[in-house]
Amino acid sequence: MAIVNHVKKYREEKEISQEDLGQAVGVSRQTIYAIEKGNYNPTLEFSFKLAIFFDKTIEELFSYRGEAR
């Protein structure tokens, strides 16, 4: 199971750097890099910050790909 995110896609559509996005939402460039690579799953609060920044829903930024039950 995995959280799939589209942060990089929306960041590139806005034509901003990881550094600029990090500054806009209050984290380091390294945190943005880790999220985009799937190495870090942001908290719900931080996910809302990203969604607000991109004017998207959390579901548009993140989805869950789990195992069938």
In which domain, by residue range, is 12 found? Answer: 2-65
Q: What is the pLDDT of residue 1?
A: 57
In angstroms, the Cα distances linking 27 to 65, 67, 68 are 26, 31, 34
> What is this structure's pTM?
0.86
For the chain, how many structural domains are there in total?
1
* One pLDDT digit (tens) per residue for the chain, 69 residues: 588 999 999 999 999 999 999 999 999 999 999 999 999 999 999 999 999 999 999 999 998 886 555
Q: What is the pLDDT of residue 19?
A: 98
Q: What is the CATH number of the domain that holds 54?
A: 1.10.260.40
